[in-house]
Amino acid sequence: MFELPDLPYDHAALEPVISKETMHLHHDKHHKRYVDVANQILSEKGDKPASLEQVVRESAGKAETRKLFNNAAQIWNHSFFWACMSPAKSQPAGDLAAAIDRDLGGLEKLKAEFVAKGVAHFGSGWVWLASDKGALKIVDTHDGENLLTQDLVPLLVCDLWEHAYYVDYKNDREGFLKAWFDAMPNWELAQSQYEASKSGGEGWQHPKPV
């Protein structure tokens, strides 16, 4: 069965952008619930998957496995989201920075498009910086949908579900996204994901079941 991964930093490490209260609610309650429900479904089916990625891909697009997909994909999305953030502010460098300039017109234009895409997204979901065989693009997905079933490699993601920001920002999703983009992205992870997208490597993987 899958375990709720520990955060890669303290619950208070992302303040003031994301509060300790939000992180406890988001990780310890919301994320844990997805883990619990997915494990229950897998146990009832007698399934012992080798990876979470396998569960997401095999349950996608099927009405009879929709509940399993929703919960498994949300486990993956949240675990990747935690990895996409760092308490230490950084900047993109090297070939990733060059790709941002080439494909998106520079970091400030990337921020503007990323924020605009997230603000315009209707309802719950995610906004992603992704690589399409080395070409960068910004995409959004609804509810638990992610990029595992698409031919795209995620470099960064930000959560657009209201529970991700409502305690700290109320209904100001734009304010949350701007503050998040300025301080939170783990550009080192984004760089490693970008390298994987160009080489055909696996990239970031969720912890295996135990």
Q: What is the pLDDT of residue 49?
A: 97
CA–CA dist 76, 53 (Å, integer) = 8
pTM: 0.97
Domains by residue range for the chain, with CATH: 20-83 (1.10.287.990), 94-199 (3.55.40.20)
- Per-residue model confidence (pLDDT) at position 167: 98
What are the 10-residue block averages of pLDDT along the chain, 210 residues in total? 98 98 98 98 96 98 97 98 97 97 98 98 98 97 96 97 98 98 98 95 94
Q: Residue 201's pLDDT is what?
A: 86
pLDDT at 202: 84
